[in-house]
Amino acid sequence: MRHNPIPSSLFRENRQRLQALLPPGSLALLNANDVPPTNADATLLGVPNSDLFYLTGVEQEESILMLFPDAHEEKHREILFLRETSDHIAVWEGHKLTKEEARRTTGIRTIMWLQEFPAMLRLLMCQAHRVFLNSNEHARATIHVQSRDARFIREIQEAFPLHHYDRLARFMHRLRPVKSPAEVDLIKHACSLTREGFLRILKTVKPGINECEVEAEFAHEFIRRRGRFAYNPIIASGKNANVLHYLDNNQPCRRGDLLLLDVGAAYANYAADMTRTIPVSGKFSRRQKQIYQAVLRVLRGSIAALLPGTLPRDWQHHAELLMQEELLQLGLLLPKDVKNQDPDRPALKRYFMHGVGHPLGLDVHDLAEAGQPIQAGWVMTVEPGIYLPDEGFGIRLENDILVTPKGPVDLMADIPLETAEIEDLMRS
């Protein structure tokens, strides 16, 4: 754990919210993610399972959470199973959670070692009427590698074939989009790390710098502040900005080019997601500024429309109408293009082909129920862009917004965004 400790009250409250949704007699089980292998005997750094972290604050491999609110024995209503350490593990891998440390982190009183799991599972399965199992049901996920949860699902269904099994994900998709004040504070902290990285970049970027050097400056700022990259950063100069998920980050930044920076820090596993587009030479050209201001107006109009009760598809349509008007004013679209367009393939998609935003939280593309209206407590990215491959540049701008009953709150309002401010900071 690199970040500072988080009060266990956050995780206790999250478990209480989930338990309130479970039908009577329900047993819920969640597994940690696997530690992914690479080549030979090497592994990547483990990525915590977001649902398990949401409910426990635990990041340690092989952990299992068992929730059974109606268990006969009170001590069996919440159980966390951990990998037991040894002298060998301590020497080769380092410190693992003790039972008392796990109690302080999670607020769970009953902590057991993994070797106790099979017997406890059988005991409680004999009491349970329904079993809720977890899996990655993100609509945009592409599943090629079997997860620890998927293996567990197969094993438990083989061992207990007559139980009624159900999906825990539908409850997690209902709970996780609405952020508690403690979660919002963690996202704000991730935004503050992102801001510090961006300010560092404004002092660093100049003609001749390589995209990878810019990435390194962000890494320096995030890591020294107990954070990390929330996702693989996009450092795209010139024409590279027209590749939406450009990840090579290996080209020189040339005088006169724009540099698109889609970068966010993560702190305590909560993500920020920022995009800025800056002039490599420190000053926007007239054309670049013209396009920039158009994107900025769509950003602000889309932020203003982030209101509770709005359907995401309606919000997207609103943003596209704003963008269509800007493209008409720029002459990139003609009235006849709009009049004759295929409704399923609007003409504006030539220049703005992606979504205007998404939920943000423990995952950069956080969970939300399909078709669910935007609610107070959601944190949403807003990220319009205009891409001009024929002119050799693209511009995208992105801020993170908290939805509230009183209107949207910009969590990145203190990160430079106006062209004049960016030019002044780069010049100084």
Q: What is the pLDDT of residues 114-160, one digit of tens each?
A: 999 999 999 999 999 999 999 999 888 888 888 999 999 999 999 99
Cβ burial of 233 (10 Å; 0-12, 13-18, 19+) is: buried
Is residue 1 over pLDDT 80?
no
What confidence tier does 298 reach under pLDDT thresholds 50, 70, 90?
very high
> What is the value of pTM for the model shown?
0.96
Mean model confidence pLDDT for the chain: 96
DSSP string, 273-318: -EEEEEETTSS--HHHHHHHHHHHHHHHHHHHT--TT--HHHHHHH
How confident is the model at residue 143, as a pLDDT? 85
| Tokens 């030979």 -> residue | 40
Is residue 50 over pLDDT 80?
yes
Is residue 218 over pLDDT 90?
yes
Query: What does the pLDDT look like over 332-368, one tens digit per residue?
Result: 999 999 999 998 899 999 999 999 999 999 999 999 9
Query: What does the pLDDT look like over 156-179, one tens digit per residue?
Result: 999 999 999 999 999 999 999 999
Rounded alpha-carbon distances, angstroms, from residue 253 to 62, 205, 405: 44, 8, 43
Is residue 60 over pLDDT 80?
yes
How confident is the model at residue 209, as a pLDDT? 98
Query: What does the pLDDT look like over 304-343, one tens digit per residue?
Result: 999 999 999 999 999 999 999 999 999 999 999 999 999 8
Task: Provide φ and ψ at 190, rounded to 5°.
Answer: -60, -35
How confident is the model at residue 144, as a pLDDT? 86
How confident is the model at residue 141, as a pLDDT? 86
DSSP secondary structure code for residue 240 in this structure? G
3-state helix, strand, coil in the chain (%, to 5): 40, 20, 45
Q: What is the CA radius of gyration of the chain?
A: 24
How confident is the model at residue 300, as a pLDDT? 98
Read off the pLDDT of each residue in 368-381 and give the average, rounded to a whole number.
Answer: 94
Query: What does the pLDDT look like over 224-270, one tens digit per residue?
Result: 999 999 999 999 999 999 999 999 999 999 999 999 999 999 999 99
**Structural domains of the chain, ranges and CATH numbers in brackets:** 9-175 (3.40.350.10), 181-427 (3.90.230.10)
CA distance 305 to 58: 36
CA distance 411 to 401: 6
Read off the pLDDT of each residue in 38-46 and give the average, rounded to a whole number.
Answer: 90
Read off the pLDDT of each residue in 170-193 and give the average, rounded to a whole number.
Answer: 97
CA distance 163 to 157: 8
* Percentage of residues of the chain with pLDDT beyond 70: 100
CA distance 303 to 383: 10
Read off the pLDDT of each residue in 7-13 and give the average, rounded to a whole number.
Answer: 98
Query: What does the pLDDT look like over 388-410, one tens digit per residue?
Result: 999 999 999 999 999 999 999 99
